[in-house]
Amino acid sequence: MLAGDRIPSQMFLKTETDEQKLILLPNFTSEREPMDLMEAIKTRRSIRRYKPVPVPEDLLKEVLNASRMAPSADNAQPWKFVIARDEQVKLKLAAACNGQKFIVQAPIVIVACGIPEEAFQTAGGYMSSHVIDVSIALDHLTLAAHAGGLGTCWIVSFKEEKVKEVLGMPEDVRVVALTPLGYPDEAPDKTPRKNLEELVVYDRYQ
């Protein structure tokens, strides 16, 4: 399949009948049109400007629930998401994120933490699965947030020790990533992606 080719719907759905119309990701606000999974994947952007508008509690719960549904190695679910809403906490987190002040604009900052002890210890025979597991959960969250009209931005430019200090985290829990969560105040253009030919090879690594 070449870059730009339409991916056949049967790769995602069993039939092309009613199931094709299935709303894979509910859209959470009554005013918005439902958004299906591929649309959410294609139109999500990293958002670095946020409106000073609170996120409704039920929408937050739905978005968090999407992360809860994520798969994980051995189904261990070795994570905890800290929801920071306090202005002072958010300010300290922004400082811990090497001064990325835009995250304070968002009403919520989510800190996605991994618990190595609870994770599958020998992924690939050599590593703990916690970073993979947390990343999948956070990616579910970012897509569900977008489908619900919210913006996010993966943040891994941070000093772990500082984040841990701000949140009072135990020694054995690791910070994997953060994201602001709130209503976007910008509509960024899409960023470029490599062609499939650069990213995918068949039968042998080359």
Ligand X SMILES: Cc1cc2nc3c(=O)[nH]c(=O)nc-3n(C[C@H](O)[C@H](O)[C@H](O)COP(=O)(O)O)c2cc1C
Question: Who contacts 116 (Cβ-Cβ below 8 Å, separation ≥6)?
Answer: 78, 128, 130, 172, 174
Q: Which of 12, 24, 37, 45 binds ligand X (CB under 6 A)?
A: 45
Residue ranges of E strands in the chain: 79-84, 108-114, 151-152, 174-182
Q: Does 49 bind ligand X (CB under 6 A)?
A: no
Q: How far is the CB of 50 from ligand X (least distance, A)?
A: 13
Q: Which stretch binds ligand X (CB under 6 A): 78-86, 143-151, 155-163, 166-174?
A: 155-163
Instruction: Using DSSP, state whether 141 is helix, strand or coil.
Output: helix
> Do 160 and 83 meet the contact criterion of CB atoms below 8 Å apart?
no
d(CA 43, CA 32): 15
Which structure tokens are listed for 169? 């985290």
Rank residues 48 and 92 by Cβ distance to ligand X and give the closer one.
48
Q: Does 43 bind ligand X (CB under 6 A)?
A: no
Q: Does 1 bind ligand X (CB under 6 A)?
A: no
**Binding string to ligand X for residues 178 to 197, with x set by CB under 6 A, is what?**
----------x--x------
Q: Does 155 bind ligand X (CB under 6 A)?
A: yes
Q: Which of 156, 187, 196, 200 binds ligand X (CB under 6 A)?
A: 156
Question: Who contacts 181 (Cβ-Cβ below 8 Å, separation ≥6)?
Answer: 55, 60, 63, 106, 107, 108, 109, 110, 145, 150, 151, 152
Q: How far is the CB of 175 from ligand X (least distance, A)?
A: 12
Q: Does 42 bind ligand X (CB under 6 A)?
A: no
Q: Does 154 bind ligand X (CB under 6 A)?
A: yes
Rank residues 94 and 153 by Cβ distance to ligand X and give the closer one.
153
C-alpha angle 3/131/82, rounded to 5°?
A: 110
Q: Which DSSP symbol is given to 103?
A: H
Which positions touch ligand X (CB under 6 A)? 45-46, 48, 100, 153-157, 188, 191
